[in-house]
């Protein structure tokens, strides 16, 4: 079993940390919010996710997970350091990577053994390359650090199940040793593992979220047209859903898509495409 440090005890980081602990690993979750850390040490979850609080209490009692603000001790001898901090949107639609770089700086100043830094946050294509370069250029100790992309695919309210039994595990690396170690880390997870290069893994996350947002937008436009021509959108959606190429997910007409991911991720991909002059 591995020693895993999780940078960021929010939605992505906390769920990942608890699920790795449930699989038997030794996990330490790091956050700058001392109140949040103390709250979690009491077995309380700062977010609502089915089964999360129960697993927090179970694994804390069994000493497989802990919470701290002391990143120095958490990162220095970890086998894997997962970055799960927020990447909020900027005014121009691009992703704000300030929190990711702050963690990268802490890691470069702290690690005392070879390790793998895993970016689980949703980041623009090429970020893993840049973070690895930044860490290696700023390392304080003579150690080897490789960066891997491992995006999450969680549905709010179902995040624990989506982590323990995911639809797929995407691992983006640039060398075979890192790939092998990442695959070993996930060997107890019952899910297909797709190994790619880092940029492909980053794009898989954006493409997946934006495609789902596209389905929501599409069915809403069809609903508007149904009202004009006298068709029933519920029957139309049901009729479409029998086609296995389309499926029945994200075909419920409504006011639109929201949440913490779809709006910012669609803007970020649009910004990326604009910069690439697509």
Tally the domains of the chain: 2
* Residue 261 is a catalytic residue: yes
Whether residues 225 and 271 share a domain: the answer is: yes
pLDDT in tens, 173-218: 999 999 999 999 999 998 999 999 999 999 999 999 999 999 999 9
Q: What pLDDT does 230 receive?
A: 97
Q: What pLDDT does 274 receive?
A: 81
Residue 278 above 70 pLDDT?
A: no
Catalytically annotated residue among 29, 115, 226, 261? 261
Q: What SS3 class is residue 68?
A: strand
Tell which residue, 214, 267, 210, has the closest CA to residue 88: 267
Whether residues 191 and 213 share a domain: the answer is: no
Q: Measured between alpha carbons, how far is 8 from 16 in angstroms, rounded to an integer?
A: 10
Q: What pLDDT does 258 receive?
A: 66
Q: Measured between alpha carbons, how far is 87 from 112 in angstroms, rounded to an integer?
A: 27
Give just the sign of the alpha carbon dihedral 69, 145, 111, 104: negative
What is the overall mean pLDDT for the chain?
Answer: 93
- Phi and psi at residue 189, to the nearest 5°: -95, 130
Longest dimension (CA), the chain: 70
Provide the residue range defining the domain that includes 250: 203-275
Whether residues 99 and 227 share a domain: the answer is: no
**Encoding tokens for residue 59?**
């694994």
Residue 81 above 90 pLDDT?
A: yes
CATH number of the CATH domain containing 261: 1.10.1040.10
pLDDT in tens, 217-270: 999 999 999 999 999 999 999 999 999 999 998 888 877 766 667 778 788 777
pLDDT in tens, 84-134: 999 998 988 889 999 999 999 999 999 999 999 999 999 999 999 999 999
Domain boundary among 165, 198, 231: 198
Give just the sign of the alpha carbon dihedral 175, 85, 97, 153: positive
Q: What pLDDT does 228 receive?
A: 97
Whether residues 23 and 144 share a domain: the answer is: yes
Domain boundary among 198, 216, 243: 198
């Amino acid at each position: 079993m591995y020693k895993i440090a999780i940078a960021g005890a929010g939605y992505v980081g906390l769920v990942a940390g608890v699920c790795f602990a449930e699989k038997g690993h030794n996990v330490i979750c790091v956050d700058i919010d001392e109140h949040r850390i103390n709250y979690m040490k009491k077995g309380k979850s700062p977010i609502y996710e089915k089964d999360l609080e129960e697993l927090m209490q179970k694994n804390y009692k069994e000493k497989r997970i802990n919470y701290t603000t002391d990143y120095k001790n958490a990162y220095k001898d970890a086998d894997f350091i997962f970055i799960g901090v927020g990447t909020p949107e900027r005014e121009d639609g691009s992703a704000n990577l300030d929190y990711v770089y702050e963690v990268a700086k802490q890691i470069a100043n702290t690690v005392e053994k070879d390790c793998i830094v895993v970016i689980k946050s949703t980041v623009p294509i090429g970020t893993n390359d840049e973070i690895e370069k930044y860490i290696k250029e700023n390392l304080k100790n003579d150690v080897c650090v490789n960066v891997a992309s491992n995006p999450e695919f969680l549905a709010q309210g179902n995040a624990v199940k989506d982590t323990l039994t995911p639809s797929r595990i995407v691992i983006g690396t640039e060398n075979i040793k890192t790939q092998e170690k990442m695959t070993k880390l996930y060997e107890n997870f019952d899910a297909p593992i797709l190994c790619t290069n880092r940029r492909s893994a980053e794009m898989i996350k954006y493409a997946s979220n934006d495609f789902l947002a596209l389905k929501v937008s599409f069915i809403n436009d069809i609903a508007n047209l149904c009202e004009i021509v006298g068709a029933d959108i519920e029957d139309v959606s049901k009729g479409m859903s029998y086609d296995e190429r389309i499926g029945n997910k994200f075909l419920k007409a409504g006011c639109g898509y929201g949440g913490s991911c779809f709006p910012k991720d669609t803007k970020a991909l649009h910004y990326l495409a604009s910069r690439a002059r697509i």
